[in-house]
Structures are given as C-alpha cells and as structure tokens.
Structure 1
C-alpha cells in the first residue's frame, strides 16, 4: 500500500514539473538591447527564422557618443553575414563564427516559475509570463548566465538578461511581435551586397544557401 501511495505521489510531482513551451519558428518585431559595461544600446526591427537559422535586423547602435545605423542579414547555415552601413551605403560581407542562438526556450533551461507583468488583480491589466534560465557557452568557451521570459500564451520572447564577468549585464527586450514573416524577400541580401551575377540569381542562390535539404 505504501509503495502504491509513493508511486502516486511521484507521478503527481512529475506531472507538475513545468515544461518549456515552444516558440513560433518565425516572427517579426522590435528589439531594444542595452549593456551598461560596454556603454552600448541597440534599437531596431528584426525578422527572425529559426527554421532556416537566419535573422535580419535594421538597427541603430549607440556606442558612447557614436551612432551607427546598419542593416544586418545573418545566414547562419551559409556562415555568411552581410552588414550594410545605412550612412555610408557600403556593404561588408563576413564569415559568421558563432553558432546559431535560438530565442526559444533552450532544452536544458531551468524553470523559475510564472509571473505577471503589470497586475493579475483585474482582467486586461497584466501579461502572464513564464521564466527560464541557465547558462550559454560562447565559442570562446566563456559562460554567460541568463534569465529569459516568454509569454505564457503563444510562447513569444519578452526579455533576456545575460551576465558575464567580461561583458557585464546585457538586457534584451522584445516589442510588438507578430508571428510569421510578412515579406520572404527580407532574407535576400541588398543589391549593394551582391555581385551582378549573384543578384541575377538571388532567389535561387540564397534559397539554396539558407534552406536545409
């Protein structure tokens, strides 16, 4: 009898363990990123695609007293990043050396429960979020500690805070997200970033580069 009761209690405890929700694989929205130690802030609009590991951000970066405006397209499966300077109109092509980092909840993340942004006292006065955290390992073998929040309904990212001795605290926030990609061509590089031959073959060429077969 005791064994049966113990098994029932274990089963209830396992059933109550929180499980990570699954974020949409494609979404668009605005982001704001700040790092006090690096004296840097970033604000921009992004298109995100975790299916084919690609992201585009049109952003303004403030580093100290300097302001940089760029259009960045990162195609992780092709290991290519295009950086278009919106002021000088120059495009730089460079190799991606860091691995793809998903904005969904990582499989090894630890749950820190749920909370309301705003209030739960009255309807429509708060947003229920789920909180997860853990460690991220950089290509340099440095470890970042992080805590992230996602909407309880829809599992959309809300914020992510990371910390390391070297880089300090970085706070990334997401706003006005919509599920899906409004323009699939957003993942095709600007004409200024391509040769004439590449531009003529842009749909076929970059479709092959960014999609998995």
Structure 2
C-alpha cells in the first residue's frame, strides 16, 4: 500500500505542467548571438545581477564582415551605461533610459513544449527543458525562449526584429553567482568620465549587440 501511494505521488509530480519562471538573481556565463541576415555574429561573457539591476557584457564578434570588441556595463538604478576599454584604460559614460527587464519567462507566455536535450536513455545523458513563446517587452516583437525545467537556467532565446529578422541568442557555461562582483562596478579610470550629452539610450541585451 505504501509503495502504491509513493508511486502515485511520484507520477503526480512528473505530470505537473511547467509554469513560467525567473532565472537566478545572480548569474554569469557565456553566450553567442547571430542574426538571420548573417550580418552579425558575436560571442560574449556576461554578468547578470537582478538584485542590483546591473548587467555587463564583454563581447567579440563580426558585423558585416568587420571584427569588433565591445565591453558595456549597464547600471539601471544609476541610469547610466559605461562603454569600457580596458586596453586603453578609457571609458565613456552615457545616460541609460528604460526599465530593467529580468531574465524570466513572463507570466503571460505560452508553453510550446517540454523536451529532453541529448538523450533520456541514461542518467546524465539529457537535460529537461521547457520552451515558451510570447511578446517582447512593450510589444516590440515576438520571442521563443528555452530554459531548464529545474532552475530556470537560460538555454536559448529567439527574437524577431524588423531590421535583422530572427536573432538567436544561445547561453552556455552558466554559473550561479558572480565570482568577481567588482566587475559590475565601473573601473577606477571610469570615475572621472563625464556623462556624454546625447539622447538617452534604451538598452537591453539585444540592443547591445545590434547597435
């Protein structure tokens, strides 16, 4: 009888429908971004702090067959973005407009399906993930995001933009936490950087690469 009850409980747990979720508040790792028109490909290291509303992306890529490097620190609570050049020890500070958008699956997203990446034939051979679809913030377009069933760790996100078509972001080597929190503060040589007078930029992960 006890075995029967445990079996039923286990079956009930496995049958639960996935729910929208939020990624860990502190996350770091790598990502790649590519566009449908093949004009952009970039790889980057990212640091994500939802508690302090801070994001840093250090990227290397090609745009229209020209290589580039870019290092940006976004401080949403301060309303500032720093473009950092560690090699030359220079820094540009720009006003940052817009709200911080956490890495999450919105509550109004629709579940497209649940699959196993890899194989379900043996322990450790596969990864259970959920794929969701919905609208980008401010109805700017559509997205399709895949996250792990356990932990809500980002795997990939596909956006559609009028200018570039479909844009694919793939995450890898994700780690819970940030090993060097100091990288989410402006370097010392940035402290004297004055705010550049220009129209405020509304920036997020996607615009960091497309701009």
- TM-score category of the 2 structures, normalised to the smaller one: 0.7 to 0.9
Does the aligned pair in 2 maintain the 1:118–1:125 contact within 8 Å? yes
TM-score, with length taken from structure 2? 0.77
Q: Quick check: which has more Rg, 1 or 2?
A: 1
- Equivalents in 1 of 2:38, 2:163: separation in Å? 10
The Cα shift of 1:87 comes to 5.6
Larger CA deviation: 79-88 vs 147-156:
79-88
Match of 2:42 in 1: 42
The Cα shift of 1:143 comes to 2.2
Does the aligned pair in 2 maintain the 1:45–1:57 contact within 8 Å? yes
1:100 aligns with 2:95: no
The answer for unaligned runs of 5 or more in structure 2 is: 1-11, 194-211
- Equivalents in 2 of 1:113, 1:169: separation in Å? 20
What aligned pairs does 1:177-196 form with structure 2 within 5 A after superposition?
177-195=174-192
- Give the secondary structure class of the aligned counterpart of 1:37: coil
1:149-182 per-residue CA deviation (whole Å, 9 max, x = no partner) reads: 1111211111100013333111001111110121
- Equivalents in 2 of 1:102, 1:37: separation in Å? 28
- Equivalents in 1 of 2:37, 2:95: separation in Å? 27
TM-score, with length taken from structure 1? 0.76
- Equivalents in 1 of 2:36, 2:16: separation in Å? 38
- Give the secondary structure class of the aligned counterpart of 2:178: coil
Q: Name the structure where helix makes up a greater proportion of residues.
A: 1
The answer for unaligned runs of 5 or more in structure 1 is: 1-11, 197-213
The Cα shift of 1:88 comes to 4.9
